Each structure stands twice: as C-alpha cells, then as structure tokens.
Structure 1
C-alpha cells in the first residue's frame, strides 16, 4: 500500500514511479496529500487511471509556492521524462503548407513539411481553400508550376496564365516582384497590396499604358473577391482560442480553433485517453508550446490557477471564459459540431444507414457493384469497398465480363457477384455487412438469386440512378427514404465511387482496343 499521509498539503507536483524506477506519470496539485490520496481511495476511476494506479510502485513530489509554479514545473517534468500515462499531444492531423521555393524564379506549390529551403505559409486547415488560393496566386501573378524550367513554353504560357520565365519573357527582378506580391497575400496583407496596385494602375493609366492598367484592375478585383471570402469579423482587436471536446468510451476527442482578431486562422485536433482533470492538463501542455491568446473560451469551468498560469506564460492578462449564451456560446457550439463531423461523422452515417435499412448489424464493411459498357461492347464490372464509412481502395476489384454477349446488365451483375463471393469464400475472406447494387429491382433480383444459390446471407440493397430510389428484397416498392437524407446520400456516395471506378476501367480497355 502506498503511504500518502506523510505528503505535504502545499501545492506542487507529484511523480509516480513503476517497479523499474521509471517515471510513469507527472501531475500537479493544489494540495499534494489530498490529490495523491484520491488515486487510492476512490472506486470510480476511469480505466486508464486504474491501470496507472496498478503500476505505481513509488511516489516523489516537489513543493512549489503557488499553483502557477506547479503548472510550469509540471510541463518541464513532462517534457523531460515523457511519462507513459500523461497526455500525448500529437495533433490528429497534419496540414499542408504553401511553399515558396528559394530559386532564381521561385515556384509556389503545396508542401507537407517545412524542412526545405524557401518560405512556408500555413498550415492550411481546408485543402480546398488552400488549393483555390494556390490556383488564384499562380493565375493572378503568372507564377510557374513546373518543377524544372522547360526548354519550351507550356500550355499555361500559351494561354497567358504563366509569365513564362522559361522563355526569357520576364526578367528575374520582375518575376520576384510578382512572387513578393503573392507572398503578401499569403501573409494576409491583401488590403496593403490592393492599395499598392491601385497606385500602380493609376500611374499606368496616366501614361496611357492601358493594357497594363487593365491587367492590374483585374488583379485588384480578384484580390477584393478573395478578401471578401476570407472576411468574417475584423472589428475585434484581440485573439481567441475556442476549445471544445466530446468524450466517448474513455477517449477524449478535442478540437481547438485559433481566431485571429475575429478571423478563423486555424484549428487543431487531438485525441487522448480520458483521465481526471484532462482539460486542465491539456491546457497546461498545449500552451507551454503555444503563446496563449488574450481570451480562451471553454465549455466547462477550470481552476482559477489556469488563467493565472496562462497569464504568466503570455506576460499579460488572459481571460478564461465559459459562455452560457450569445456569440461566444455559438462559437463553442460550432467547435463541437466540427468535433462531431471530424471524429464521428462516419459513425453517424453508419448508424443512420443501419436504422433506415433496418440492418441487424452496423454496416462497417459495404461492397458495391456496378456495370459499365458502350452499347454492349467491352462490358466490365467494378466493386468498391467502404470500411467504416471511408473508401477502402486496396480492396477494390474490377471484372471483365466473360459469359455475356450483347447487353444484359442483369446477367452481368449476377456474374460479378458470383465471382466475387465464390472467390472470397475460397480464400476465407470476411463477408461484408451490406452489399449494394447499382440498379433497380431487376439487378437486385439477379444479385439476390446468386447469394441464395451460394448460401450467403448478407443484407443487400439496390439504388436506382434517376430518382435515387432504394430497393431491398421482398418489397416491390422502394424504401421511404428521401434522396437528401443522410443514409441515402451515403449510398449515393458509394454508388458514385463504384460507377467512377467502372468507367475508368472501361476507358482503359477501350484505349487498349483501339491502340495501333
């Protein structure tokens, strides 16, 4: 039994050791004796803490004058010893950057890391926004996208979307000025760049250089449009971080939004085991490596020492707020909604599909079949597999129809279904939880007959293209699903992927057929 009565009642840090003398946990406390004793006197500990307590063979402690000092010391000790049972703050996602290379004619492109030469901007949370911005910058300022300067101008040069340094059409100095302007956009100084461009446009117009003035006018219009899209609420004069989370089955799913003077500038996602006081530990660990903003918005109250600790790190006052209504509460709800989508979106789709199709089990694995042909020639089949709501591309399969002549989609579906599950059984593979057929009642009947013949009992459904109707065996009418329901949209997503895969295979076969 671990002795705790001799521990002091002052604030400080405690260290738990295992039987080998390795530090397995570092914690902070307002009252060391009370906090450490709670590990051994309570019966409602979470599973991870129970494993921790079972592994404790020794205790050490360090007394501090204040709770703020305990926060600081805790972070120092955690970074030094990397204890097994402390939160591992690895971001759940790695986001891409826009990289401006260090070359005579710099290239602007997407990069996953920041370990090369040149300058990096980001990270970008949204891939679509990043790609849209990159595309705009290349087109707007005529920046090259080629890895190496070619010997002859490419298509972008011919259509005027690249300044074509490969041809000597632009000097290195003029090209670098274009890059500097693109970087001004990446730094967020769109307003200052627009002001400069307006002055240049007026000067060119005064010298009757109307073609260049019109080019600058178009750049200004594009930048103003970009500024409007990025504008949220720039009247705030301070920065905020908004933190929210969901705890599910012993795991914390947490998201943090960075708001820079009213504009969302980034987000971070984390998952870690649930432990008592995990939110305070997260805040202490996170802000040890990131400067705290003026305001931190949380869903639940934390100890007053947290605000003091963050203020100490910042060197100025930090407000920790738990809003109950209004704009800040709406922001908290928005972050929670993002947590639900990011971490539970696929599970929600599967739960909804199980409910609406009355499936006996959650459809974790779904396989969908489609047929593609051109007037009965080069008929092919495809099968795509979705696992936990996401494409499982390594298990996609394609089929060249062997036994059918002419147009017979029903027979073609029957052939690929038979071939798929005959082979799967032979190889001892796991059957899916749901089979989906691209087609109507005829295709469904053909596939169902094959499954019955093979003695396979797996739920099956079909989705017809025109009205997105869902059919299941035993019912002459489609299920009462609206095409915009979550379950129907998920089935459409799977069907569309199967169709894309089939079309790609069909085109490849046709190219081989007509090749000289």
Structure 2
C-alpha cells in the first residue's frame, strides 16, 4: 500500500520506492532509494543534473511512496512495478511476450508446453527468440521422454497407442519414473548435457545388464538424439562455465541489448531485446535497469554475468541475484582474455542487430515517403492467387510486422470462384479477409476486444497491376474500409499502382522501401504456390489410388513406401506388387488391372 505526500520533506529517511504521477494521476516515473527523503529531494533542486530530469519534473504533480525493509527489497519492488506500470520516463525492457517460453507444468504428471505468459506456477525456460528451433526442441523432448500432452488424464489416447506417451493415466508408468524423465528435461534446458548423457548411459548399461534390451535400445536412441541436438545447435568451449554475457548498442530512442547464455561450456542461445531509452540515458544505467528487469521474472540466474562496464548498485544487484540463485553470483567486467572476447562478440552481435533494425526502419520510412502514407506501414499484408487454369486455386494472405514476416498471421484460402478467373478470385480472397476486418471496425470502440499486434493492416499489397487493384479496391469500398491504403505491385516493370490513378509510382530499384514491398509480394506468391502444389500432389495421389477397391490408407502408405511413387506403382508387375506388405495376390491383380485396363 503506497502513501501519498505533498512534498519531499514529508518522506521518511528509510529505504523504499517512490512513485511520481502527472496531473492525470498517471505514473510517469518509479525509483528506489536507500533514503527516500534524500533521494527525492534531489529532484527539486533548481539546477537539475540532466535535461531528462527537467522534462520529468515539468510533468510532475504528485508523489507516493512505499517503505521496504531493505534497499534490496526496494530494488525488487522497483523492477516489478516498472514492468507492471511501464512509466514513460523509466528505462524499461520492452514487453517480451513476443518470445515464447518452454514450461514444465506444476502437476502430478507434468506436461511440457510453449507459452508466452509467465504465471505463478510451473518452471519456465527462455525466452527463446528462435521460435521454430524451440518448437522442434519441445517436440523432440516430448517424443524422447514420452511425456503426456493431454490436459485431462481421461484414459489412454492415440499418443499412447503409437508409443508417444507412457500413459500415466493408465498406470503404465509410476510417478517416480515419470518425474525422472521430467528431471532430464529440466537438465536439458539448463544446458547440463554431460549430466543428462551420463545418467542415460548409466541407465542403458544397467538395462543391458538386466537383459532389458528393448529399454536399452530406447535409451540408446535418446542418447543419440541429444548428441545430434548438441552438435547441430551449440558451440563448445574448453572449460565448463555458467555465464550470461550482456552487451548493448544504442540507437535513437531505444537500445538493443544482447544476452548470450553459456551453460556447461556451451553457447546455448543468443537473445536480443529492446530497452526504451533516450539519448540522455547513460549506458551503465541502461545495463543496470536491464539486469533488474530481465532477471526479475522466473529466469535462470547464472554464476557469472559479464558486462561491458561498471554499473550503479553492482554489489546490491549481486546480493539480490545471489538470493534468487541460492549461491554466489558475480557480475564481472573483463579486461582481457576469453571473457573480454565474449563481451566483444556480444557487442558485435548487438551492433549488427541495431543496423538491421535501422535498415528495417529506413525501409518503412521510404515506403511511407514514396506512397505518401499518413503513418508508417508497420503491418503490411500481401495477397496473391495461385492456380493452373483455374484448378485447385488458393488465395494467400501474408503479413509483415515491422518489416519482417509475421507468420502467425499468414492465411490460406481455398477459392470457390470457378476458374480461370483471376479477378473474380482476387475479389473473393479480399472479401473473405476484409469482411472480418469490417466486423471489427463496425463495433463500438468501447466494445472492441484488444487485438494482438499485427492483426490489422496499415497497407495492403496486391500482386498484380491495375486490373487486380481495381477489383480489390471495390471490396474496400463495399466494406467502408477505403481508409486502409492499398497498392498493386506489377512484376514486369516493378511499378506500383494506386487506386483512381493511371500513373504508376516508380521507386528507385536500389531503394530499401521497394525491396521491402518486393519481399512482401514474393512471400505471398511463395506461400500460395507452396499450398497449391500440396493440393496438386494430394489430388494426384487421391485420384490414382483411392479409386482402387481394397486400397485404404495403410495399404496406400505401404505401396508408396516400397515403390516410391505413383509411376513406379503403375509400372510394377503383379508379382512385384504381391511381394509388398499388406498386398495379397488378388489385390495385386486388382491394382495391376486398374492401371492396365
């Protein structure tokens, strides 16, 4: 519970946090202090230490404070409140909900899931910036250790029948044995690969000694799979370490922070984050704020943190991290050797990411300038039609967020419009997508459910020229959505068409803005063609085998697995067909007659 005061003189001389608000009672700054009275008084000096303080105090209206038992408690509370309220004038870590975490649930038989929300229960690992890689890792661990995926344990499911789950719901594995597998997953995410491999090798030897050869083979496969993951993803060092290396690169109104994590001598990942900062914020303050907010949630704390320069409250932060970890944590500023090279490597990564982000920002600025848009097109949606003479037509809808593909917003539509009719199909594609957008905008603003970032387009791009653009714009008019800018990008001359104008816009061919629009156009085409080919492949397979009496899914798989393709099945003799598993003499003759009437 906070206490409100009218002046700094009313503050106690105890440790705690202070909360500054503006005239609208909105929190604009949160700070911690060893001595609240002395710290807050410094804000009211006539000569301010920094221009940022002058700006802050020009918006200051009221003050609240919370007393804590120690400065360390104040540090923890400050980090939590900054994350919760996101005050304008604090250096703060941008919300990292865009990155997923792996979570072991807090249940009798835990599950391994991916989540973007940090709750109060369970064990979390991450965040992971490479979403595809962590998806593959989680999938691998689930299959390796056969842990359950169902939310309710209602009895054996399909996973247990195909040997992907040990079926604790049916009592096929004890709680103790199940939790041994969970502990191996925990070791894996902590980077303790040597320990998990030794445990598995010991179990394999014991199983072999007990003549449990099937169990030994399973353990052997687990060992081989983990070796493959380590060789594929991680870089090894000579010594065994448990470190995080943190480096920064400043850009306008933001700072890129890179964290490289080393566990047991392996680089297990590199994450990048954005801190909202100003040109006046010092790099040591930025690193200090990042460490407090980064480790302030359920995240592994290493034995050592390597940083570029000394930071305020270093000893206090070390004590706080030590409490979280349970043993001593050191924050070190290396001056030479391998550790200095690691810090420089992290800094180089941060600089590269900063340059990439600036390049992306430049491309959005260029698009805005050449298309004369009112705001930056942070969300660009691209549309394309893929078909052959109107058959198996699909419409693709891709989305780019901040200049990068946002694949969770990708959509594919099977076209109902009879073909060949590219204009009609484009009209159908836009109708099906824009109808949902119109439904959202037609709601009263107070009734609208907040949307996920990237859900609504700032710019629509059609793969095509004036004809495709015209029918697409008609759909915008139909749903009163003409406030959304729309363009057509014709491939032949890379000309950009806008509604109600016959004169195309030409962006210089070496311009970053044009390159971004081309990437959106080409990605929409690639995404559509990929799904169109899948439909064609499926259609070919269905028409060739599914009409043969007696051929079901299993026999179809057996035929394709043994002979490789439809053409090989067509060319096979009755004798060759009869040798295939699940195919008897009579069925072999039926198949042969189907292809040779």
Pick the aligned partner of 1:321 from 333, 353, 362.
333
* Counterpart-to-counterpart distance in 2, 1:77 and 1:287: 13
1:8 maps to which residue?
none
Say if 1:39 and 1:370 are closer, same or farther in 2 by CA, change over 3 A. Answer: farther
Say if 1:15 and 1:417 are closer, same or farther in 2 by CA, change over 3 A. Answer: closer
* Counterpart-to-counterpart distance in 2, 1:112 and 1:77: 23
Displacement of 1:330 in angstroms is 1.1
Kindly indicate whether the alpha-carbon contact (under 8 Å) linking 1:366 and 1:436 is maintained by their aligned counterparts in 2.
no
Displacement of 1:328 in angstroms is 2.3
* Counterpart-to-counterpart distance in 2, 1:395 and 1:199: 48
* Counterpart-to-counterpart distance in 2, 1:508 and 1:225: 32
* Counterpart-to-counterpart distance in 2, 1:395 and 1:129: 22
Kindly indicate whether the alpha-carbon contact (under 8 Å) linking 2:200 and 2:219 is maintained by their aligned counterparts in 1.
yes
Say if 1:502 and 1:288 are closer, same or farther in 2 by CA, change over 3 A. Answer: closer
Kindly indicate whether the alpha-carbon contact (under 8 Å) linking 2:102 and 2:112 is maintained by their aligned counterparts in 1.
no
Pick the aligned partner of 1:310 from 317, 337, 351.
317
1:468 maps to which residue?
none
Pick the aligned partner of 2:525 from 464, 485, 495.
495
Displacement of 1:136 in angstroms is 1.8
Aligned: 1:436 with 2:489: yes
Pick the aligned partner of 2:246 from 236, 243, 253.
243
* Counterpart-to-counterpart distance in 1, 2:18 and 2:113: 48
Displacement of 1:180 in angstroms is 1.9
Displacement of 1:395 in angstroms is 10
TM-score computed with the length of structure 2 as normaliser: 0.57
Find the residue that maps to 2:51 and give its secondary structure: coil
Say if 1:234 and 1:91 are closer, same or farther in 2 by CA, change over 3 A. Answer: farther
Say if 1:420 and 1:260 are closer, same or farther in 2 by CA, change over 3 A. Answer: same
Displacement of 1:420 in angstroms is 0.9
Say if 1:270 and 1:456 are closer, same or farther in 2 by CA, change over 3 A. Answer: same
2:595 maps to which residue?
none
* Counterpart-to-counterpart distance in 2, 1:34 and 1:114: 33
1:514 maps to which residue?
none
1:195 maps to which residue?
198
Per-residue deviation, residues 52-76 of structure 1 (Å, max 9, x unmatched): 334257899x9xxxxxx87875666
Pick the aligned partner of 1:102 from 102, 107, 114.
107
* Counterpart-to-counterpart distance in 2, 1:435 and 1:254: 38
Per-residue deviation, residues 319-367 of structure 1 (Å, max 9, x unmatched): 44166963321123224445666x667436546x859x98777765645
Aligned: 1:41 with 2:26: no
After TM superposition, the structure 1 stretch with the greater mean CA deviation from structure 2, 254-263 or 416-425, is 254-263
Per-residue deviation, residues 392-450 of structure 1 (Å, max 9, x unmatched): 9499999765796699999997654221113435625235475335x646xx79x95xx
* Counterpart-to-counterpart distance in 1, 2:216 and 2:363: 52
* Counterpart-to-counterpart distance in 2, 1:166 and 1:296: 40
Pick the aligned partner of 2:390 from 376, 386, 390.
376
Kindly indicate whether the alpha-carbon contact (under 8 Å) linking 2:251 and 2:354 is maintained by their aligned counterparts in 1.
no
Kindly indicate whether the alpha-carbon contact (under 8 Å) linking 2:79 and 2:292 is maintained by their aligned counterparts in 1.
no
Pick the aligned partner of 1:145 from 128, 139, 149.
149
Kindly indicate whether the alpha-carbon contact (under 8 Å) linking 2:379 and 2:399 is maintained by their aligned counterparts in 1.
yes
1:218 maps to which residue?
221
2:306 maps to which residue?
297
Displacement of 1:131 in angstroms is 2.1
2:474 maps to which residue?
422
Say if 1:22 and 1:307 are closer, same or farther in 2 by CA, change over 3 A. Answer: same
Find the residue that maps to 1:198 and give its secondary structure: helix
* Counterpart-to-counterpart distance in 2, 1:354 and 1:107: 45
Pick the aligned partner of 2:164 from 162, 166, 172.
162
* Counterpart-to-counterpart distance in 2, 1:3 and 1:456: 65
* Counterpart-to-counterpart distance in 1, 2:169 and 2:26: 64
Q: CA RMSD in A?
A: 5.9
Find the residue that maps to 1:130 and give its secondary structure: helix
Displacement of 1:115 in angstroms is 4.7
Kindly indicate whether the alpha-carbon contact (under 8 Å) linking 1:152 and 1:167 is maintained by their aligned counterparts in 2.
yes
* Counterpart-to-counterpart distance in 1, 2:380 and 2:26: 46
Say if 1:413 and 1:145 are closer, same or farther in 2 by CA, change over 3 A. Answer: farther
Kindly indicate whether the alpha-carbon contact (under 8 Å) linking 2:20 and 2:64 is maintained by their aligned counterparts in 1.
yes
2:574 maps to which residue?
none
Say if 1:435 and 1:155 are closer, same or farther in 2 by CA, change over 3 A. Answer: same
Kindly indicate whether the alpha-carbon contact (under 8 Å) linking 1:19 and 1:57 is maintained by their aligned counterparts in 2.
yes
Displacement of 1:491 in angstroms is 4.8
| 5+ long unaligned stretches in structure 2 | 1-5, 9-14, 427-462, 540-597
1:455 maps to which residue?
501
After TM superposition, the structure 1 stretch with the greater mean CA deviation from structure 2, 265-274 or 403-412, is 403-412
- The within-5 A match list for 1:34-433 is 36=42, 40-41=46-47, 45-46=51-52, 50-55=55-60, 84=87, 85-88=89-92, 91-93=95-97, 95-100=100-105, 102-103=107-108, 107-113=111-117, 115=119, 119-125=122-128, 126-148=130-152, 154=158, 157-158=161-162, 161-163=163-165, 165=167, 171-173=172-174, 177=177, 180-188=180-188, 189-206=192-209, 210-229=213-232, 231-233=234-236, 235-236=238-239, 239-264=242-267, 267=271, 269-274=273-278, 276-277=281-282, 278-279=285-286, 280-283=288-291, 295-302=304-311, 306-313=313-320, 314=322, 318-321=330-333, 326-338=341-353, 346-347=360-361, 350=364, 366=380, 368-377=382-391, 382=396, 384=398, 386=400, 388-389=402-403, 390-391=405-406, 393=409, 415-425=467-477, 427=480, 429-430=482-483, 432=485
TM-score computed with the length of structure 1 as normaliser: 0.64
Kindly indicate whether the alpha-carbon contact (under 8 Å) linking 1:292 and 1:318 is maintained by their aligned counterparts in 2.
no
